[in-house]
């Protein structure tokens, strides 16, 4: 399963589109419980009006770190500061 987190841009074919951090967390837990493999998380950083439901996407990375679930992550954010912060976290905990 491929998950695409973005408040505005629709997911490419083959991805499930989520718009908030909490929606994505719920989906991850649901997929794990059903035994489905999570292939990749493709993340934006700024989630606009959807940030009230879990913050910006870096909070999803924090959630994954706390649980020790290091799914492959791709970033598609246009926010250079948000991207740098997310990349720093990924390098630290994912080893990439």
Calculate mean pLDDT across residues 11-27.
Answer: 98
Any idea where the domains of the chain sit in the sequence?
A: 2-94
Q: Assign 96 a pLDDT band (cuts: 50, 70, 90).
A: low
Token duo for residue 29? 């837990």
**7 token code pair:** 């408040």
Architecture of domain 2-94: 3-Layer(aba) Sandwich (3.40)
Per-residue pLDDT for 23 more than 70? yes
- Reference 8, options 41, 49, 42; nearest CA is 49
Q: What is the mean pLDDT of residues 74-94?
A: 96
In three-state secondary structure terms, 72 is: coil
How far does CA 14 lie from the centroid of its chain? 16
Q: Tell me the pLDDT tens digit for each residue of 28-54.
A: 999 999 999 999 999 999 999 999 999
- Can you tell me the distance from the alpha carbon of 96 to that of 92, in angstroms, rounded to the nearest whole number? 8
Mean pLDDT, rounded, of the chain: 96
């Amino acid at each position: 399963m491929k998950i695409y987190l973005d408040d505005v841009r629709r997911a490419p074919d083959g991805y499930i589109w989520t718009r908030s951090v909490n929606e994505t967390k719920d989906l991850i837990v649901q997929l794990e419980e059903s035994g489905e493999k999570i292939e990749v998380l493709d993340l934006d950083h700024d989630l606009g009006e959807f940030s009230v439901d879990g913050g910006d996407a870096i909070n999803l990375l924090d959630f994954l770190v706390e649980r020790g679930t290091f799914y492959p992550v791709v970033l598609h954010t246009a926010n250079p500061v948000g991207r740098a912060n997310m990349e720093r976290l990924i390098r630290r905990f994912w080893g990439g």
